[in-house]
A = this chain, B = another copy of it.
Amino acid sequence: MRVNFALFEEVTQLDLTGPFEVLARAPGFQCELVAKTLAPVRSDRGLGLLPTRTLADAGPCDVLVVPGGPGADAALGDPEWVAFVRDQAAQARWVFGICTGSLLLGAAGVLQGRRASSHWMARDLLAAFGATPMPDRMTQDGKLFTSGGVTAGIDMALLLVARVLDKAAAEQIQLQIEYDPDPPFPGGTPATSREEIVQRCVAAGSARRALREAAVQAAAARLGT
């Protein structure tokens, strides 16, 4: 099982590193980080990650993983990234969109007529690409797995291992990474967080939201949805 992770500048690194930790532990899975060049790529918070393949020599994959972050908004408008995701998604057995990575899948035309999840602050924008936005933490529609923000990619990667291999393989990884989560506070979704916290997130994300809306509108216009 070859897994290609899309690695663009200003990715939200945990969208990628969470599923990587799970999938790289699955027997027979080989994980590659695919970027424009082999130069280190910086996450939105400055973590430097090293690509292993370029877009040109990525080769086909069984699982395509598209993380999100501010960089996904830029990638929506980048013909090289859009073509890469479109072509890789067409031949992959499974396609994974985490957080706002699902917007990039949308811009590549992969989500037309499909149900999909995304980060709660961006989920409604999926409709611009002909998708039905789902409020769920994980949505499976055929070979498409899409998830909510950041940490949801860990849950979804475990589910994928169970589907592709078997449940015991996923449970073994879950125990290896001691994944019995215990968040110190209630919250983590707009429904479970205090209203004050939701408002703080929306305010802190308003500039990003405006950039994202513009990027999505332009990408949807090019796609013709």
Contacts and interface: CB of A to CB of B under 8 A. Distances in A.
A45 B18 contact: no
B31 A20 contact: no
Contacts of A143: none
Contact of A181 (B21, B52, B155, B176): B155
Q: Give the copy number.
A: 2
Given A20-B47, A21-B14, A31-B46, A177 B150 contact: yes
Contacts of A154: 151, 181
B175 A190 contact: yes
Contact of A162 (B138, B159, B185): B185
A172 B184 contact: no
Given A18-B14, A49-B47, A194-B171, A158 B178 contact: no
Nearest to A45: B24
A169 to B, nearest CB: 9
Contact of A193 (B120, B175, B182, B196): B175
A178 B119 contact: yes
A12 interface: yes
A184 B152 CA distance: 11
A191 B123 CA distance: 37
Interface stretch (A73-81, A125-133, A197-205): A197-205
A225 interface: no
A187 B194 contact: no
A182 B52 CA distance: 31
A177 to B, nearest CB: 4
B189 A180 contact: yes
A149 interface: yes
Interface of A: 12-14, 17-18, 20-21, 24-25, 31, 33, 40, 45-50, 52, 99, 119-120, 137-138, 148-152, 154-155, 158-159, 162, 167-168, 170-172, 174-185, 187-190, 192-194, 196-198, 200-201, 204-205
15 contacts: A20-B45, A33-B48, A137-B182, A151-B154, A152-B178, A154-B181, A155-B182, A159-B184, A171-B185, A171-B197, A177-B188, A180-B183, A180-B189, A181-B183, A181-B188
